[in-house]
Each structure stands twice: as structure tokens, then as C-alpha cells.
């Protein structure tokens, strides 16, 4: 069902509503008092085919606030389950509303979702609302991830609602408009496997394949191929996270997409000093989702996905388990291959040599020992400007860099080519936690969005190495307390 609703450029479909009814709940709207557009992504609006000039209008803001739906929309909340810190629960969109899927002129079909739009049948005890700070935070980090070339949901708009929400204190409410390849999660499959029939599970799998993997639609073993593809995309994604020091913070199975996009920016943050044990989230007391645990946790989540698919893989359960296990067992090697390929690029290496793994390992061990900043160390190597860390004054580093330079000389590439490879793989800027906090404080406390705008501008092309970006590369002032993030609900 396509609605050519030209008003503002919406061109919405609601294919999700063709799934069996247990996959969603249609919603009544929960209008907010006095919505105001506080941040808006013009470039993304253009890509979506929206009329960015009119999007500041009252009619458009009413849509971003969930007060009114564009023609053709059937607002719905999606049902899903998920393992939260290892424990399985029924979840679902407790504070989100799917407006529909926008069909773009380039043929993409993208979910438009409001986050913080009010209670749904899946809200459990929650109020269905979100605070301004965390919604702006998701905006900043998701757009920074996009700038880094990492698959991610994107942020189209943030409106303040004019209403307060109650958390530990009273906070200004807000709604984020999120754009995603889809919101189908590992947890959506877990929900189908746990509470649906085999037909429901198959309907979800067929829908997912049609939407994300159309090239396997006609294949007889398409459900096995679906598993293989999702494993591949997640291995590639998590390798990309590791290569820039991104810590998701809450890798529950409901926060892992089937599309391979990063989703649900809650307590996430970027690592400064290299330490695999780094955890920022205040609720992750055991370090389950620490930086160094992200790759194996990805495997754990994918195993839950594989389990959900078992009834579709083979009639005989033992055969199905064997098939699934054969795929899952490839995940860690796949991940390592992506990671190693990425690390080689970070060191300017085009070809492969046996010694590369140990060269990389030695560097990381030294970085850990000297608490060297992850981003700035690779930036220093790129520019051959060795300052800003004690690491660079050690003989261990001199020995290592001699070995590295020798290794570089072994390849048939100019030093310019290898430096360019490094520049394209080592961001000069990342969203440093203190910079993100500074931008959020200015916006939330003073209504000043310029700090956020400048930050986003610096983050939009992190591989530029422009002089204006320099100030965003500096480290946070040393403080007694470690940086902590909160779930942002």
C-alpha cells in the first residue's frame, strides 16, 4: 500500500502491518502540549525526499511530535522480546511509534520511528516518554557513527514536547525521529519463536529476507542463508566498532538489528585510553558489555538468533542444530578477519603478512600499558607526530615503530598511498565524552544549540584532518571520577 502523500514529501508504506497481528499493536496518538523543533537534519531530510523547507512548519512539527500522522500512516508499536543482561523478557516498543516506511527516490525503504512518543501496550511500568538530553545524545552519537562510515540508524529531528518527565529529577521531555533500514531485531525473532507459531516465524523471516536480503529470496535454503548473512553483517559491524573504540553499552538481543545497523544509543560512549576492560554504563556492573567483550557478546546474541530460526532450518531438530552450529562457529573467525583487515588499514598496510597479527598485538599491549588514547595514538602514527603520550618516549615504542616502518617498506606502495589509507581509517575526531556533555549541557540548560552544531560539524567528516577539528581531538581534563553513562530512559 503506497500513499503518494506529497504534502512535505512523505511517501509512506506500512508493510510491517502485513505481518501477523501479534507482531505489533496499532496505536492511538498521545499528543504533547507545545512541541517545538529543536534540531533538524536537513541533509537526511533531502535524502528521504522530504521537503526540508517545509519541515519547520507547524504541520511538520506536529508529525515529529506524534500529535498528527501523515496521510497513509498506521502508527504502530512493534512487539519483541530480548535477553537483557542475559535474562529473557517480553519487551516491545514501550515508548516508540512506527510512523511508516518512507520510500525514497533511490528505491530505499526506511523506517520512520518516533522515540519518546508516549505509552503503548508494551510500556509495562514506563511512561513512554524520553528526556531531551538523551534524545540529543542519540542524535549526536548516531550522526557521528554515520560520519565514521559505520552502519547506523540515523536521526532526523528532535522536538521538545513542552512537558516535563519525571526521572530522578524533573526533566524536559523530547521526541526523536529515528530513521532505520528497519527495526527488526534479534529480539523480534526471539519473540516469534517463543510466542508465535511456525507460520508466524516464517512470515517474519520471509518479510525480513524480502526487505534486507532480496537476493536470497528464491533460494531453497534461504533461512540458513539469512542466518549466514546476519552473522556476516554483525561480524563486520562489531569489527568497525572495535576499530574506533565505540562501546555500545547495552548489547541486549533486543538492541541488535538484523539489518546490521547500530541501534539504541543509550549508555554508549567512545573509549579514550585503550583498555579492553573499559565500561561506561552505570548499570553494567559486571562488565558484560565492556569494550573487549563486545565481539564474543555479538556471538552470544547471534546464537540466540540461530536458536530462534531452528524450526525453519530443518524438520529434524538435530539436523537443524548442526546446520545452525556450523554457521555460528564461523562467526569469530569472520569477526577476526574483518578486524585484522581494519587494523592493517589503520597501520597503512595494503597486503597481508604473517607477522601482522603480532605487530598489532604488540602495539595494543603498549597502548594499554601506557594508557595511551586509542584515537590519538592512531592519529599520531598517521601523521608521524609522536607527542601527547608517554608511550612515544619509550624504547619499546621506538623498537616497535622501526619494525612497523620496515614492514611498510615491504609492500609495493608509496608512503603517500599508505598515509592516505591511514587517514581514511584513523579518525582525527570522535565524539569525546566531555565534548558531548558540553554540547548537551548548553542545549538542555541554556537552550543554546550552537555548541552541538559545531560539534556535529566537526564530526561530520572525521577523516578530514582539518585545522578546525583540532580542538575536538583534545583529551578530557583528568578527573578523579571515571566517566559514567546512564541508560537514558
In angstroms, what is the minimal distance from the CB of 487 to ligand AMP?
6
Cα separation, 183 vs 47, whole angstroms:
19
Q: 78 and 183 in contact (C-beta within 8 Å)? A: yes
Active site residue 446: no
DSSP 93: -
Cα–Cα distance between 487 and 489 in angstroms, integer?
A: 6
Place of cell 502508527: 75
Q: Which residue ranges make up the site for ligand AMP (CB under 6 A)?
A: 91-95, 122-123, 126-129, 250, 254-255, 264, 266, 487, 489
Locate 292 and state its grid cell: 573487549
Q: Which is nearer to Mg ion, 126 or 447 (CB)?
A: 126
Minimum CB separation of residue 124 from ligand AMP in Å reads 6
Nearest to 246 by CA among 151, 386, 341: 151
By CB under 5 A, tell whether 272 contacts Mg ion: no
> Does 93 help bind Mg ion (rule: CB under 5 A)?
no
By C-beta, is 122 or 463 nearer to ligand AMP?
Answer: 122
Residue 253 near residue 234 (C-beta atoms within 8 A): no
CA distance 72 to 361: 54
Cell digits of residue 277: 576492560
By CB under 5 A, residue 425 contacts Mg ion: no
Q: How far is the CB of 26 from Mg ion (least distance, A)?
A: 21
Q: Given the complex with ligand AMP, which of 92 and 348 has the nearer CB atom?
A: 92
Contact status: 264 vs Mg ion (CB under 5 A) = yes
Taking the complex as a whole, the smallest distance from the CB of residue 456 to ligand AMP amounts, in Å, to 23
3-state secondary structure 114-155: EECCCCCCCCCCCCCCEEHHHHHHHHHHHHHHHHCCCCECEE
Q: Which is nearer to ligand AMP, 180 or 227 (CB)?
A: 180
Nearer to Mg ion, 89 or 273 (CB): 89
Q: Which does 211 bind (CB under 5 to 8 A by kind): ligand AMP, Mg ion, none?
A: none
**Contact partner, 422, from ligand AMP, Mg ion, none, Cβ < 5-8 Å per class:** none
CA angle 472, 272, 339 (to 5 degrees): 105
Given the residues 254, 264, 284, 373, the one annotated as active site: 254
SS3 329: coil
- The Cα diameter of the chain in Å comes to 67
Q: Which is nearer to ligand AMP, 117 or 208 (CB)?
A: 117
Query: What DSSP state is assigned to residue 425?
Result: T
To ligand AMP, the closest distance from the beta carbon of 115 in angstroms equals 9
Indicate which of Mg ion, ligand AMP, none lies near residue 93 (CB less than 5 to 8 Å, by partner kind): ligand AMP
Q: Which residue is nearest to Mg ion (CB)?
A: 264
Residue 191 interacting partner from ligand AMP, Mg ion, none (CB closer than 5 to 8 Å by kind): none
**Min separation Cβ 256 and Mg ion, Å:** 10
b/e sequence 456-467, b meaning 16+ C-beta within 10 Å: bebbeebbebee
Q: Tell me, what DSSP letter sits at residue 18?
A: G
Per-residue x/- track, 230-259, Mg ion (CB under 5 A): -------------------------x----
Q: Catalytic residue positions? A: 254
**Residues at the contact surface with Mg ion, assessed by CB under 5 A:** 255, 264
Amino acid at each position: 500500500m503506497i500513499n503518494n502523500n506529497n504534502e512535505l514529501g512523505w511517501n509512506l508504506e506500512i508493510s510491517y502491518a502485513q505481518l501477523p497481528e501479534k507482531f505489533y499493536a496499532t496505536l492511538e496518538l498521545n499528543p504533547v502540549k507545545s512541541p517545538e523543533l529543536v534540531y533538524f537534519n536537513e541533509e537526511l531530510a533531502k535524502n528521504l525526499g522530504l521537503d526540508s523547507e517545509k519541515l519547520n512548519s507547524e504541520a511538520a512539527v506536529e508529525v515529529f511530535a506524534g500529535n498528527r500522522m501523515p496521510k497513509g500512516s498506521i502508527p504502530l508499536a512493534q512487539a519483541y522480546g530480548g535477553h537483557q543482561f542475559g535474562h529473557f523478557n517480553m519487551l516491545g516498543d514501550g515508548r516508540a511509534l512506527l510512523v511508516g516506511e518512507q520510500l525514497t527516490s533511490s528505491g530505499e525503504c526506511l523506517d520512520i520511528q518516533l522515540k519518546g512518543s508516549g505509552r503503548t501496550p508494551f510500556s509495562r511500568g514506563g511512561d513512554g516518554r524520553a528526556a531531551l538530553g538523551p534524545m540529543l545524545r542519540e542524535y549526536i552519537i548516531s550522526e557521528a557513527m554515520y560520519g565514521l562510515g559505520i552502519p547506523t540508524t540515523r536521526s532526523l529531528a528532535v522536538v521538545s514536547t513542552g512537558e516535563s518527565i519525571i526521572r530522578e529529577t524533573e526533566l524536559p521531555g523530547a521526541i526523536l525521529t529515528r530513521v532505520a533500514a528497519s527495526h527488526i531485531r534479534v529480539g523480534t525473532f526471539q519473540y516469534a519463536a517463543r510466542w508465535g507459531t511456525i507460520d508466524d516465524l516464517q512470515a517474519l523471516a520471509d518479510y525480513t529476507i524480502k526487505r534486507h536480503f532480496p537476493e536470497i529470496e528464491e533460494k531453497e535454503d534461504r533461512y540458513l542463508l539469512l542466518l549466514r548473512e546476519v552473522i556476516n553483517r554483525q561480524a563486520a559491524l562489531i569489527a568497525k566498532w572495535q576499530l574506533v573504540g565505540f562501546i555500545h553499552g547495552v548489547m541486549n538481543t533486543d538492541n541488535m538489528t538484523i539489518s546490521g545497523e547500530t541501534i539504541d544509543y543509550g549508555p554508549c560512549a567512545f573509549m579514550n585510553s585503550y583498555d579492553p576492560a573499559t565500561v561506561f554504563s552505570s548499570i553494567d556492573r559486571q562488565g558484560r558489555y565492556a569494550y573487549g567483550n563486545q565481539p564474543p557478546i555479538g556471538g552470544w546474541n547471534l546464537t540466540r538468533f540461530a536458536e530462534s530460526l531452528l524450526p525453519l532450518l530443518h524438520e529434524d531438530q538435530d539436523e537443524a542444530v548442526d546446520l545452525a552450529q556450523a554457521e555460528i562457529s564461523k562467526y569469530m573467525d569472520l569477526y577476526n578477519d574483518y578486524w585484522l583487515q581494519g587494523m592493517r588499514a589503520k597501520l597503512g598496510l595494503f597486503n597481508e603478512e604473517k607477522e601482522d597479527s603480532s605487530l598489532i598485538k604488540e602495539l595494543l599491549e603498549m597502548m594499554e600499558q601506557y594508557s595511551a588514547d586509542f584515537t590519538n595514538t592512531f592519529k599520531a602514527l598517521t601523521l608521524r607526530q609522536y607527542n601527547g603520550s608517554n608511550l612515544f618516549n619509550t624504547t619499546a615504542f621506538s623498537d616497535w615503530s622501526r619494525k612497523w616502518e620496515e614492514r611498510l617498506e615491504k609492500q609495493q606502495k608509496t608512503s603517500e598511498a599508505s598515509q592516505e589509507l591511514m587517514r581514511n581509517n584513523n579518525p582525527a575526531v570522535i565524539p569525546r565524552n566531555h565534548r558531548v556533555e558540553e554540547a548537551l549541557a548548553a542545549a538542555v540548560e541554556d537552550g543554546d544549540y550552537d555548541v552541538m552544531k559545531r560539534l556535529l560539524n566537526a564530526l561530520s567528516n572525521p577523516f578530514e584532518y582539518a585545522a578546525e577539528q583540532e580542538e575536538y581531538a583534545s583529551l578530557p581534563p583528568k578527573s578523579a571520577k571515571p566517566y559514567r553513562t546512564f541508560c537514558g530512559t
